[in-house]
A and B are shown apart, each in its own frame.
Chain A
Amino acid sequence: MRRLLVSACLLASASAAACSSASNAGQSRPVTLVVALASDPGALNPAVTTSGNTHPVTDQLFNGLVGLDEAFNPVPELAERWSIEDDGRTYRFFLRPGVRWHDGTPFTSADVRFTFEAALLRYHSRTRAALEGVIEAIETPDDLTVIFRLTRPYSPLLQRLDVVEASIIPRHQYDGHDLLTGEPTRRPIGTGPFRIVSHTPSDRIVLERNTQYFRPGLPRVDRVVFRILPNAAAAVAALEAGEVDYVSGVPGPAIPRLRASPAVTVVPGTAGPGGALCQDVLIPNLARRPFNDPRVRRAFAHAIDRAFIHERVYYGLGRVATGPISHLMTWAYTADVPQYRHDPAEANRLLDAAGHPRGRDGVRMRLTFTHAATHQRLGQALREGLKLAGIDLALETRDFNAAVEQVFVKKAFDLGVASYCNGVDPDIGVRRAYVSSNIGPYPFSNGAGYRNPRIDALFEEASRQQDRARRRDLYVEIQRILAADVPYFWLVDTEALRAHRSTFTGFRPWTGAFLETVAAVAAETP
């Protein structure tokens, strides 16, 4: 009891004690940027995972061979230039001279080859799936040249070589270690704009400026602290209180308040370390009745009130989707495809014609909507809207991991939902949802189970074609066929808002290296 009382007394004096500690403002101090992170990433090896918890941190520590500009065009990064030879079967990269790892070791072509052979093509799920049949050999004729020999022309290769999809890790640190569990995963050494200082589990990860960074003048802040804040509302409160400077994924109810605050700047985000150009899509199970019938799918598309869902469920963020490619993928996107306006009468007519009459209780069919807890509002909106077409939708809410397993792995569902990110090229994120070679059982594959040999052939041709105008024609044809077939119900091209203190500027929300150019506009945040 005595000890408890002492603790209580300590607590009572806590406020006063700390007030004095926070009063050394006014001196010139290093600029520290505090970023809220939803979950502790644990191990920090970006070449073996696509995890959205790992990459926001590691993409500041590492580089890719190429970077991406705002329109997702490749720009020089660790490679200062490249040439495409042999009709697109050979890519020759000329590495930037003078680049050093954070420990001072020179970066060479051997690091690139090691990264691909030992890490990316073995453990990075997306890069391995896409490139293991494409890359035939990697040659390193000298320290500053890397040659990728391909089994066939593959036009999206450069877009797959940025820091998110292919971070280059140091051979001298990892060689001889287990890449998944070895000690280097806790003490990462990169070439990136920041270097790691410390990692306190569940609390924070501290980075400092890499003074030897190969881009002169960058980065512009001295320290970055990733603070682990699992609760989104708490992260927003910390932002408003000035304890945190950057929050990604602002929850909908907080948007009006943050937009009204001059201390906070709200920016749209459509790409970055967690995925690029995402679409929320309803997934019908095409292997089952009633969605195996395209007439039912078209009727269903008419029954969904996308505008209402966009306004009420997505808080007006992003845009109502028109088809399988996000409108932000400007060079490949077309709106000139069959559209399904919200029309319950038309939905009822089509369902009658497809042989699904209403029963005595007015219900034509009972379906289950399997979804993660994050999509509960969507489920409620759908359920109410579909009643007008005589569809009774039962809501099956699970945690994210369990919902993904139920839909993609077990395929025990009528209607599911997923965020399919298009990525920075349609071949990266669009193709996987539609080609028959990618029908699960694993997450974010062709969840609907759609099979169309013409679509398979068009995607394959588009990936080989080097000429972008020709590629666009192929993707336009793909969009028209898919919009007519409705293998999925495309709801919204989503936009996750990010918010930062107005005392900072220069965030780059389209790339994994989103902090490289950040700078303080005032001397220090309050």
Chain B
Amino acid sequence: MTSRTFAAWVVRRLAVAAAVVAGVAVVTFVLIHLAPGDPIYLLAGDGGSPAYYADMRARYGLDRPLPAQLATYLAAVLTLDFGYSFVHQAPVSRVLLAHAPASLLLGGAALALATAAGLFAGVLPALTRSLAVDRVVRWGASITYASPVFWTGQIFVYVFAVRLGILPAAGITTARETLTGLAAGGDVLRHLLLPALTLSLPFAAIIARVVRAALVEIAREPFVLATSARGFSRARVLLGHAVPNVLPPVVTLVGLHAAQLAAGAALIEALFGWPGVGHLVLQASLHRDYPLVVGAFIGISASVVFFNAAADAVCAWLDPRVRQT
């Protein structure tokens, strides 16, 4: 790829990304405003008079027609002003940025766990050439993928936190004391383990199945036969030659799921009281915090676009054939 064609590729990707994000902003804005339920009652409370609620609606600009509200909002977004959260009484961008690190940590950890576990489980049948191991991996992956994370998470909490008492049930750090330095880092990692494990399981299952299936295909390729014929060990053939050829689809999968894991782990974050973006969006939707919901969706769609582009770039780096197209 020449530098000119690369530049054209980048411009095209950016234009598509901007269109996607703008579309998401408009659709989310309209949908959340059309959803039944009035944020004023949650904000201001119950038992008020009609005049009071009318005053409050005017204060928050909710008395204007929807197209006018949308136009004002989009004009503000162009200047990177994503509005003011009703509930948090702070700029949406500040609220989102405050929640992003926790989500990135959880998503990153889950992604790392899922990739490692998925690759390991996917390679295992080819490495052992055992039908029993193959069955265990296939069935195990199917069951793990089919188990709702919300349920798995509760089981983990009950076993590891309530019954065994070896891991914390909720939160990102212990509430009872204030730790600093290494102890604080260790505390965060200890709190991270259960939610990251829970979140990683279905994704690990997909990776395992993709890797296993790809290795079955690759085992029939002439270059695998050739390396075996040269007398290399099975492990070397597999890990040195076959597995690198399975990585591109895995990277694409990781790219597709990265944004979802980083931003959309709402159920897991709510279950574990993890102070991330997913938890925030869930609460914001329940409270009809319109600016926060729309701002969060813009952020999430932007990160989906970004991670997809990143996955494409990594694939191109891993596979020379992709680079030439």
Tell me if B109 and A405 are in contact (CB < 8 A). Answer: no
A203 CB contact (under 8 Å) in B48, B87, B113, B172: B172
- Interface: A305 (CB within 8 A): no
Q: Are A243 and B174 in contact (CB under 8 A)?
A: yes
A18-45 interface bits toward B, Cβ cutoff 8 Å, 1 = contact, 0 = none: 1111100000010010100001111100
Contact (A10, B189) CB under 8 Å given A32-B175, A42-B88: yes
A residues in contact with B39, CB < 8 Å: 401
Closest residue of A by beta carbon distance from B37: A401
Q: Which residue of B lies closest to A35 (CB)?
A: B175
A432 to B175, CA, bound (A): 41
When the two chains form the complex, which single residue of A5, A29, A237, A442 contacts B162, counting CB atoms closer than 8 Å?
A237
In the complex the two chains form, what is the Cα distance from A325 to B68 in whole Å? 46
Per-position 1/0 for A236-247, Cβ under 8 A of B? 011011111000
Across the interface, which residues of A come within 8 angstroms of B99, CB to CB?
A: 201-202
Decide if B132 is an interface residue (CB 8 Å cutoff). no
Q: Which B residues are in CB contact (< 8 Å) with A265?
A: none
Closest B residue by C-beta to A21 = B183
- Flag if A8 contacts B116 (CB, 8 Å): yes
**Residues of the B chain whose Cβ atoms lie less than 8 Å from the Cβ of A227:** 170-171, 175, 273
Tell which of B48, B108, B112 touches A5, judged by Cβ atoms closer than 8 Å. Answer: B112
Which residue, of B36, B45, B98, B286, has the highest number of chain A Cβ atoms within 10 A? B45
Contact between B283 and A401 (Cβ–Cβ < 8 Å)?
A: no
Please judge, given known A-B contacts A202-B99, A233-B154, whether A404 and B168 are in contact too, CB under 8 Å: no
Question: How many residues in A have their beta carbons less than 8 Å from beta carbons of B?
Answer: 77
Q: Is the interface of B mostly helix, strand, loop or mixed?
A: helix
- Chain B nearest Cβ from A59, distance in angstroms: 14
| Contacts known (A11-B109, A180-B59, A227-B175); A234 close to B280, Cβ less than 8 A | no
Q: B50 at the A/B interface (Cβ < 8 Å)?
A: yes
Name the one of A7, A185, A242, A445 contacting B89, with C-beta atoms under 8 angstroms. Answer: A185
A210 to B196, CA, bound (A): 38
Q: Is A220 an interface position by the 8 A CB rule?
A: no
Which of under 10, 10 to 19, 20 to 34, or 35 or more describes the interface residues of B? Answer: 35 or more
Contact, CB under 8 Å: A241 / B41: no
Chain B residue with the shortest CB-CB distance to A228: B273
Q: Once the chains are docked, how many angstroms separate the CA of A243 from the CA of B171? A: 9
* Complex contacts, B183 vs chain A, CB 8 Å: 18, 20-21
Q: Is A231 an interface residue (CB 8 A)?
A: yes
What residues of A have a CB within 8 angstroms of the CB of B4 in the complex?
A: none
Distance in Å from the Cβ of A111 to the closest Cβ of chain B? 22
Q: How far is the CB of B200 from chain A (nearest CB, A)?
A: 10
On chain B, the residues within 8 Å of A180 by CB distance are 59, 89
Contact B169 A17 (CB under 8 A): no
Question: Once the chains are docked, how many angstroms separate the CA of A241 from the CA of B282?
Answer: 25
Closest B residue, CB atoms, query A52: B45
Residues of A within 8 A of B47 (CB): 50, 125-126, 129-130, 432, 443-445
A244 partner residues in chain B, CB cutoff 8 A? 170, 175
Chain A nearest CB from B278 CB (Å) reads 10
- Taking a contact as CB atoms under 8 Å apart, the answer to whether A11 and B84 are in contact is no
Q: A14-B189, A34-B175, A201-B275 are in contact. Are A240 and B45 (CB under 8 A)?
A: no
Question: How far, in angstroms, from A230 to B283 measured CA to CA in the complex?
Answer: 8
A444 to B49, CA, bound (A): 11
- The 8 tightest CB contacts between A and B, nearest first, are A50-B45, A14-B189, A125-B48, A401-B37, A17-B186, A18-B190, A21-B183, A402-B36
Q: Could you list 9 further interchain pairs (A-B, Cβ under 8 angstroms) beyond the known A126-B47, A130-B47, A243-B174?
A: A17-B186, A18-B183, A125-B45, A126-B48, A128-B49, A129-B52, A228-B275, A237-B170, A399-B37
Interface residues of B (CB under 8 A from A): 35-39, 41-50, 52-53, 56, 59, 84-90, 95, 98-99, 102, 108-109, 111-113, 115-116, 154, 157-158, 161-162, 165-172, 174-177, 179, 182-187, 189-190, 192-193, 196, 270-273, 275-276, 279-280, 282-283, 286-288
Cβ contacts A to B, 22 pairs, < 8 Å: A4-B112, A7-B112, A11-B193, A21-B182, A39-B286, A39-B287, A43-B87, A51-B42, A126-B46, A128-B48, A128-B49, A204-B171, A227-B273, A237-B169, A399-B286, A400-B286, A402-B35, A402-B36, A404-B41, A441-B50, A443-B47, A444-B46
